């Protein structure tokens, strides 16, 4: 195929994103209730590691708890050590020799089987997320849908990428194609416990790499479901290995191992930057420099212009700031309001916060549930103390008696936030919003861009000129105009940031898989005529 004929990655055929469940339908609600009951009946399970297709128990274990009811234990999960990490890498390394030779269409079929099984088990997977990560029904359901989308989309992308690019001249044949890199350590966060883990894992598998999967401690049971589904899809032993454990132990062992070729990480800036530094160090006998794909945090702002539709802006900021208790990397944690409408916006926003219902994640009527664990609960409360000292509290939602049961923190909003204060600069990762006043649009963009992050941003305005300015002057990876800033969809809104928010390219986008591949050029001099007889013919 000539260069002109090769479809540009951006021209990939459209695919239909997996529809979200409509919980206004009684049948869907019944299915979800039944799934929650079935999952509850399984509480107490023990989850092993999986190395080379074999279940492995460990001396140390993690305990999985329900953040909505902190005394409730879901089960225990084996916690790997450095030796087991080495065994898993060895298994993945050996499996790579065969897996890399499996045809792209065959690999894509495995991944489509994973998607199909996720569809079959959709409510069950969402129910585990409700219990293990405190995700409300709708968000847990969207998480499963996104995981399915990653499978279908990356399988489709890889089918396109396998097409060899030919650049031929008289007497010279040039081909350009991709090879897999090798063992991939997937290190995932807890906040999109199935979607992000699945996205990084199937990207590696589709491109012909083998995987050691290290989920977040707080989401290890859900992660084990992906391992089960991969096994049921028939993935050969060693192609996908499951290695739960602590970041400090097993995460570090994976990052430092010389046979790991790709580290696909999503998580905090602190850990991401550390991994990036460590991966750059090479050993004398190491064969390749590690490729690091790191998606990190954000301190995302929404600007509300003076002519914005305030109904839209208030509800969009509310949803962006407090969906999943502010625990999305895309969440809005700063709202920058133009001076002429500042007072009106603040008054209406404070009133809107009153309407938020907080409660256990299994309750279908809630807007948001608990934060993930005790550490997060303490960290966010420490920030609230800082905010109360440095800024002016506008909304201080009280979780009431819920706070005794689980890790609940009500919505908090601060005004009079100084641009360089910790409330304005640090990623708090909880239901905490800073409101800032801008003199004019120049000032608004200055404030919005004044962070080390560049992940998501939003702009509410009715002025075409100002909307155009936002496109040019608001420096974020994903910019949303006149809508909320969370809920990116695979292919429609490829997702990821830059500056200190990420060093990879966008997940769910046309370039994502390239990071998992090595481009190779082969040039042959075709002037030479006549071939040596091959050995079969000789026999």
Active site residues: 295, 329
Please answer whether residues 254 and 214 qualify as being in contact, where contact means their C-beta atoms are separated by less than 8 angstroms.
yes
Told to check if 247 binds ligand NAD by CB under 6 A, we report yes
- Which of 128, 349, 429, 460 is in the footprint of ligand NAD by CB under 6 A? 429
Q: Which is nearer to ligand NAD, 222 or 314 (CB)?
A: 222
Tokens of 137: 């029904």
> Would you call 453 helix, strand, or coil by DSSP?
strand
Residue 536: how many CB atoms within 10 A of its CB? 6
214 interacts with ligand NAD by CB under 6 A: yes
Is 191 near ligand NAD (CB under 6 A)? yes
**Does 217 engage in binding with ligand NAD (CB under 6 A)?**
yes
CB nearer ligand NAD, residue 156 or residue 294: 294
Nearer to ligand NAD, 152 or 372 (CB): 372
Closer CB to ligand NAD, 121 or 328, in the complex: 328
Judged by beta carbon, residue 128 or residue 190, the one nearer ligand NAD is: 190
Binding of residue 187 to ligand NAD (CB under 6 A): yes
Residues 10-69 that bind ligand NAD (CB under 6 A): none
* Residues of this chain, 303-362, that bind ligand NAD according to CB under 6 A: 329
DSSP, collapsed to helix, strand or coil, labels residue 70 as: strand
Using CA atoms, how far residue 118 sits from 95, 113, 185, 257, in Å, is: 25, 9, 22, 32
Q: Which residues fall within 8 angstroms of residue 393, CB to CB, at 6 or more apart?
A: 387, 412, 413, 414
- Helix axes of 220-232 and 195-206: crossing angle, nearest 10 degrees: 40
One symbol per residue from 370 to 409: x for binding ligand NAD (CB under 6 A), - otherwise; what is it?
----------------------------------------
Sequential DSSP letters for 12-65: PPP-PPPPPP-TTSHHHHHHHHHHHHHHHHTTTEEE-EEETTEEE--SSEEEEE
Q: Among residues 186, 229, 279, 218, which one has the least CA distance to residue 79?
A: 218
Residue 487 sits in the site that holds ligand NAD (CB under 6 A)? no
Binding part of the chain for ligand NAD, among 54-62, 165-173, 211-219, 530-538 by CB under 6 A, reads 211-219
* Nearest residue (CB) to ligand NAD, 435 versus 455: 455
Considering only 92, 239, 296, 391, the residue that binds ligand NAD (CB under 6 A) is: 296
Using the rule CB under 6 A, is 251 a contact of ligand NAD?
yes
Q: Is 192 in the site for ligand NAD (CB under 6 A)?
A: yes
Strand, coil or helix: what is 484? coil
271 binds ligand NAD (CB under 6 A): yes
Tell me the C-alpha distance between 162 and 104, whole Å.
7
Angle (CA) 317 321 326, round 5°: 170
Structure token digits, residue 35 = 């799934």
Which residue of 35, 147, 255, 454 would you call a contact of ligand NAD, by CB under 6 A? 255
Report how far residue 185's alpha carbon sits from residue 176's, in angstroms, rounded to the nearest whole number.
27
301 contacts ligand NAD (rule: CB under 6 A): no
Nearest distance, CB of residue 487 and ligand NAD, angstroms: 13
Nearer residue to ligand NAD within complex by CB, 123 or 495 = 495
Q: Is 190 in the site for ligand NAD (CB under 6 A)?
A: yes
408 burial via Cβ count (<10 Å: 0-12, 13-18, 19+):
buried
Query: Within positions 455 to 474, which residues make up the interface with ligand NAD, using CB under 6 A?
Result: 455
Interface residues with ligand NAD (CB under 6 A) are 187-192, 196, 214, 216-217, 247-248, 251-252, 255, 266-268, 271, 275, 295-298, 329, 427, 429, 455, 496-497, 501-502
């Amino acid at each position: 195929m000539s260069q002109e004929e090769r479809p540009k990655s951006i021209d990939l055929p459209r695919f239909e994103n997996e529809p979200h469940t409509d919980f206004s339908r009684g049948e869907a609600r019944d299915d979800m209730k039944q799934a929650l009951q079935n999952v509850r009946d399984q509480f107490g399970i023990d989850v092993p590691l999986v190395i080379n297709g074999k279940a492995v128990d460990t001396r140390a274990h993690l305990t999985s708890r329900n953040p909505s009811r902190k005394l409730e234990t879901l089960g225990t999960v084996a916690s790997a050590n450095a030796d087991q990490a080495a065994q898993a890498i060895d298994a993945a390394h050996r499996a790579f020799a065969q897996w890399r030779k499996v045809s792209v269409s065959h690999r894509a079929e495995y991944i489509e089987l994973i998607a199909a099984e996720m569809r079959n088990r959709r409510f069950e997977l969402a129910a585990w997320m409700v219990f293990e990560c405190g995700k409300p029904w709708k968000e847990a359901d969207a998480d499963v849908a996104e995981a399915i989308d990653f499978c279908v989309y990356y399988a489709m992308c890889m089918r396109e990428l396998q097409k060899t690019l030919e650049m031929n001249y008289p007497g010279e044949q040039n081909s350009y194609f991709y090879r897999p890199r090798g063992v991939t350590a997937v290190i995932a966060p807890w906040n999109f416990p199935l979607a992000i883990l699945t996205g990084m894992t199937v990207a590696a598998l589709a491109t012909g790499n083998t995987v050691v999967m290290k989920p977040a401690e707080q989401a290890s049971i859900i992660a084990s479901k992906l391992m089960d589904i991969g096994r049921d899809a028939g993935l050969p032993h060693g192609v996908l290995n499951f290695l739960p454990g602590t970041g400090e132990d097993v995460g570090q062992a994976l990052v430092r191992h010389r046979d790991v070729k790709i580290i696909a990480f999503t998580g905090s800036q602190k850990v991401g930057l550390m991994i990036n530094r460590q991966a750059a160090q090479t050993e004398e006998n190491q064969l390749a420099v590690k490729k690091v794909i790191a998606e990190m945090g954000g301190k995302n702002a929404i600007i509300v212009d003076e002519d914005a539709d305030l109904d839209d802006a208030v509800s969009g900021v509310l949803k962006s700031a407090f969906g999943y208790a502010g625990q999305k990397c895309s969440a809005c944690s700063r709202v920058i309001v133009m001076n002429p409408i500042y007072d009106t916006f603040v008054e209406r926003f404070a009133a809107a916060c009153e309407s938020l219902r907080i409660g256990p994640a299994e309750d279908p009527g809630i807007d948001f549930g608990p934060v993930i664990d005790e550490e997060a609960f303490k960290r966010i409360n420490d920030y609230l103390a800082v905010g109360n000292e440095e800024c002016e509290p506008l909304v201080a939602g009280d979780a009431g008696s819920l706070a005794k049961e689980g890790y609940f923190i009500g919505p908090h909003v601060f005004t009079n936030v100084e641009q360089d204060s910790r409330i304005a600069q640090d990623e708090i990762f909880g239901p905490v919003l800073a409101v800032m006043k801008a003199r004019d649009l120049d000032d608004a963009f200055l404030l919005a861009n004044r962070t080390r992050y560049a992940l998501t941003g939003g702009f509410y305005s009715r002025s075409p000129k100002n909307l155009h300015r936002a496109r040019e002057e608001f420096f974020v990876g994903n910019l949303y105009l006149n809508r909320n800033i969370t809920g990116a969809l695979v292919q429609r809104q490829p997702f990821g940031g830059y500056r200190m928010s990420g060093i990879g390219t966008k997940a769910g986008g046309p370039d994502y898989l390239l990071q998992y591949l090595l481009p190779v050029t082969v040039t042959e001099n075709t002037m030479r005529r006549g071939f040596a007889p091959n050995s079969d013919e000789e026999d």
